[in-house]
Each structure stands twice: as structure tokens, then as C-alpha cells.
Chains A and B, each alone.
Chain A
Amino acid sequence: MSRVFHLPAGSTRSGARRAAASPSGPGPAAAPGPGPRRGGIVAGYLAPHPPHLVYAENPPQNEPRSTGGWEVLRWGYEELRRRLRAHRPDVLVVHAPHWITMVGHHVNCVPNPRGVSVEPIFPHLFRYHYDFRTDVELAEAVVEEGERAGLVTSALREEGVRVDYATIGALHLANPDWDLPVVSLSANNNPYYYSDASLGEMETLGAATRRAIERTGRRAVLLASNSLSHMHWDTEPDLPEDMAAEHPFSHEQYAGDMELLQIVREGPTSRLKDAIPRHIGATASETKAGSLTWLLAAMGWPEVAGDVLAYGTVIATGNAVVEWVAP
């Protein structure tokens, strides 16, 4: 087993900036009540996308059939769906690591992406018929704000580009009814050459996303489509959902995930600025693609704790469903 990514995370932050941990620190922010709706980012979710979770659910959009599996993670997603609905968002904004763009940060501005996404790595699990609406005004605003912030950006307007499984997976698992408009952002990193996202740029992109949401008056929920520890098997059992084969890749990978999630549960999110790069270094975490940093930066690194709704492994990778509610 070899590691796919070898470069250190792109953040240049010093480890000395770690905020002091406090067991009596902030708890998760309260879920919204039935009061008047305000705009802005109301919540963010770490929403991992393993295609196995979609496959296990047997939705009508996906061609392969399963006998189940990975139930605890899927139960976490059921709770996410309930909470997401309570937030009453106008739009879901997702950053996903498998729309890989070598040059810059791309935003899908196609009004109605639709097609069949056959996943090249897991075609036996994921052949998903997708058909969703883009919030084009917000998507274009993200492009503009990104450019204004000095990022290389691009507005995708070509209808033929296949939507990747990390985008579809997170969106389906969070909202299987697909009844909310979407804004989809690419990951500017390059696995062919082992480069990670620049976490510094992801902070900038997050801030630009927030400005775009505020400028357009949207009430938005963000999805960071990342797994955690990312070492995994390079083969799979004959029955993909054979849970007897499912466990962490190693104790070190599991412990690394638990250390990160403990900080998530204790809060505040500012402690994660240092914890995320450390976790990437220890576990090859998929957060190296930058989605989680983007999400928390967009939320302004709120002074709250996250609520871990579920944790489980998928082909040995660590996956957590986490909610952060904007204070």
C-alpha cells in the first residue's frame, strides 16, 4: 500500500497558533427555531461522499443494487437530512474533491446539469442518473468574488462535463429529493502529480463564497464533501458491502481521526486551523483537497463546536458526518 499524496498540506500556518482547548468550551449552536428567515450561511456539514453510501441506499437514480451496509454512517445522514430541512435553506453549496481542476477554482454555472455519472473508480457501485438545478446567480457571484480576491477562477458553462461522484454523493446523501438549487465548486488540486490544495487559497475561496452568499441574499447550507483518514485497501471483497471486511486501516489512522473529531466536538472551530493540517500529515486525510477548510472559512471559523452525527469507515477510510450551526 502506498500513499497517493506525498506533499505537505499547502497551509503555511505555524503550529504555534493553536488555540487553547477548553473542556468547558463552546457547545454546538442551537438548531434554528421557527422564527423569521435570515440570509447568509446558516449551517455547514462535513458530508463525506463514498459512493458506497449511495450504493447501500439503493436509490432509484443509481443503477447498481446492494444489500445494504455502512448503516451507522447512513443513519448519521438521516439525521443530517432532518436538520438540514429545519434550516430551510435556499441553496446547497458544495465543494468536492473529485471535480479535479488543474488550473484554478471552477464553479458549475450550467443551469440544469443532467446525465449519467459512471464513476471510473467505482463503476460497479455508482452509475447515477442526475438532474438538478443550479443557482446560477449565486454561482456567478462566487466566480466574481473569487476573482476579486485574486484567485484563478472559471465559470463552467459547458453542458457536457460529467458531474463527479463526490459532488453527487454529498448532495444526494444530504438531500435525496434534490429539491434545492445547488452551487458546485471544484477542487483545485492534482492527484496525478501528488499536489494537495493550498489551504491558504481555500480560506480565500471560503471568504469569497461567504461574500457571494451575502451579496445575493441567499440562505445557504454548505457541504464539505470530504472523508477523513484516507489510507485504504487496494482491493475489495467479492460482496462490496461485506461489513466483515470493514474496519479502520490502522490504529494510527483511527486515532488521528478521533483526535480531530475530539477537537471538533470541543470547539471552537478556530482550533481546527492547526488541527486540520496536522491531521492531513498524520492520516493522508482527504481534507487535503481543501473542502473542510473552505467550509469553515466561509462560516468565518465560528466560535462553536461541531456536532458529530456519525463516524464509520468505508474501505478503511475514516468518514464523519458533522454539523456546524452558524451562531
Chain B
Amino acid sequence: MNALPAALVPAMPHLLAGDPTSSWAELATATRTVGDRLRAAGVETVLLLSTHWFTVLGHQVQCDDRLRGRRTDENWYRYDYGHLAYDVTVDTELAHRWADAIDADGMQARRTRYDGFPVDTGTVVASQLLDPRGQGRWAMVSCNLYADPSAMAAVAAAGMRAAGQLGRRLGVVAVTGLSSGLTGRWIDPGEDRVEDTHDRWNRKMLDAIRAGDREAVLAMSPQYAAAAQADSQFRAFAFLDGAGAVDRPGEVLAYGPVWGTGAAVVWWGEPTESRET
């Protein structure tokens, strides 16, 4: 495979529900398919941005070699998917090299290695679905909400350079939602839907992604962020763009609501035969 394998996957924990509604189940299955494809592509380390690890000072790079623990979500604790165990192996050699590359580009890297550090729900959800056997390695960076969205592109480019120096076979994944419009009440999952305006915007962006029109996606992102309150101003796409991953058509594997928000699984690469694990 020559193309850089890359994906955009949802962050919400509902994908891990024991009794999911159809949308949540389809999104979870598609995310597992992405994991299969990353393994089939021989990816050694995944460069990961979760917009739900949001920060405001510099760019935090996770430098703890193994993140193990249990996360009780501060909002979803009353559901099974609000209680998540995680065990994630970090490619610390790449993480440190990535942090060095961020600094070298005139940005501020913040090397993060603290016992008890609260891993965000998006990272936990994505790692469980993409790598259910816990065999993969990850290099993770936070999403700085106060930096310009284009900064995330520079951060991703720094990660690519660092991986290139180490000769890693790399995949790139952005964990994020699409539109907001989160339903502000406790719902029966069967009621879950994306409101019409947000749905139209999500589909418009996904159509441009399908067409491989990265310039259109980037140009529409500010308007999308305003009209559909896109997750973190759609910084996730800027990150994928900075990695050079979205200059070709994306394959939309799933799209649907998660508690009123829009969520999608998109794959960039040369699709390989999927197998469930």
C-alpha cells in the first residue's frame, strides 16, 4: 500500500453500548473495519488526534509508555458505556521525536507523562474499536482549542516528519464528531437523530470528502463550524490534511446520529478486504 492510511472516527462512547441503536452499531462496526484495514496495511503506529482531549496551552504529546486505567465518564456514568477500561501502548520514541519536531517548528510541545492522567473518552473509544486486542501502538496529541485551526495541520506535519525519521509505517486517525446539536435530555436511543440543518451540512461536507475535494472541505470548514457547530471547528480535518492524508477521495463507511450529534467513519487509502475481529 502506497497511500498513507488515514481515518476519521467518532468520539462518543455510545459506540460501545451493550445494546446499541442501529446508528451506534453501524458506526462501531465501521470503526472496527478501519482497524482491520490499518492492520492489513501493516501500520506500526497510529498518529492520533482526539478532539475530546482538548487543551489550551501548547500541544500536549502523550509520553507515558502505557496508559492503563478505568474511566467513568462525568456525563454518561448512568450507562454501561460510561464505564470504560483502557490499556493503550504509546510509541514513546515517536512521541518524543514528535514533540521535538513541534518545538523545532516554533510551536510549543508539552510532553505529558503523569500518573493518573485522565485519558479522554474519545481516545478510549477509538482505541478499543480500532484495536480490540490491544496490540497496536499509538502516538497521541491534544487538540488546542485556542490555537488557530491551521496549527493542527502543522502539528500533524511535524508528526509525519518525526515518523519518517524513525522509518515508522504510519496510520493517521482523527477522533471527532461532526455537527453538534446534542440532545439535551435523556432519550430512548431509538429517538436519536441529527437535526435537519446540521444533517444537510454534514452530508455536504461528506460529499466533498467523498469527491476528494480537500480544498472545498477546508474552505467550507469555518462556515460549517458556525452553521453546524462542528466539533472543535472541524480541526480534525485540518489535522488529517496536515498529514497529507486527505488529498484523495475518502470512503464514507458510516454516518449517523449519536445523541443528536453527527458522527461518521471515513477511510482514506486503498481499501482492503475487511474482516471482523
Partners in one complex: yes
User: In the bound complex, how far is the Cα of B235 from the Cα of A75, in angstroms?
Assistant: 40
**Residue in A4, A101, A120, A191 whose CB lies within 8 Å of B75:** A101
Q: Do most interface residues of chain A lie in helix, strand or loop, or is the interface mixed?
A: loop
Output the nearest chain A residue to B77 by Cβ-Cβ distance.
Answer: A158
User: In the bound complex, how far is the Cα of B118 from the Cα of A116, in angstroms?
Assistant: 10
* Residues of the B chain whose Cβ atoms lie less than 8 Å from the Cβ of A121: 54-57
Say yes or no: is B116 at the interface (Cβ < 8 Å to chain A): yes
Say yes or no: is A6 at the interface (Cβ < 8 Å to chain B): yes
Contact A118 B180 (CB under 8 A): no
Say yes or no: is B261 at the interface (Cβ < 8 Å to chain A): yes
Which of A154, A164, A193 neighbours the largest number of chain B CB atoms within 10 Å of its CB?
A: A193
Contact A127 B182 (CB under 8 A): no
Q: Do most interface residues of chain B lie in helix, strand or loop, or is the interface mixed?
A: loop
* Residues of the A chain whose Cβ atoms lie less than 8 Å from the Cβ of B226: 6
User: In the bound complex, how far is the Cα of B171 from the Cα of A44, in angstroms?
Assistant: 52
Known: A2-B147, A7-B229, A236-B58. A118 touches B74 (CB 8 A): no
Contact B114 A234 (CB under 8 A): no
Contact B146 A190 (CB under 8 A): no
Contact A193 B180 (CB under 8 A): yes
User: In the bound complex, how far is the Cα of B177 from the Cα of A234, in angstroms?
Assistant: 23
* Residues of the B chain whose Cβ atoms lie less than 8 Å from the Cβ of A100: 74-75
Say yes or no: is A20 at the interface (Cβ < 8 Å to chain B): no
* Residues of the B chain whose Cβ atoms lie less than 8 Å from the Cβ of A6: 225-226, 229
Contact A152 B74 (CB under 8 A): no
Known: A103-B186, A118-B118, A194-B180. A233 touches B72 (CB 8 A): no
Say yes or no: is B92 at the interface (Cβ < 8 Å to chain A): no
Say yes or no: is A235 at the interface (Cβ < 8 Å to chain B): yes
Q: How far is the CB of A154 from chain B (nearest CB, A)?
A: 7
Contact A161 B77 (CB under 8 A): yes
Contact B185 A102 (CB under 8 A): no
Output the nearest chain B residue to A122 by Cβ-Cβ distance.
Answer: B57
User: In the bound complex, how far is the Cα of B186 from the Cα of A190, in angstroms?
Assistant: 16
Contact B118 A120 (CB under 8 A): yes
Say yes or no: is B83 at the interface (Cβ < 8 Å to chain A): yes
Contact B58 A192 (CB under 8 A): no
Q: How far is the CB of A157 from chain B (nearest CB, A)?
A: 8
User: In the bound complex, how far is the Cα of B144 from the Cα of A154, in angstroms?
Assistant: 30
* Residues of the A chain whose Cβ atoms lie less than 8 Å from the Cβ of B177: 192-193
List the interface of chain B (C-beta within 8 A of A): 51-58, 70, 72-75, 77-78, 82-83, 107-108, 110, 112, 114-118, 120, 142, 144-149, 177, 179-186, 225-226, 229-233, 259, 261
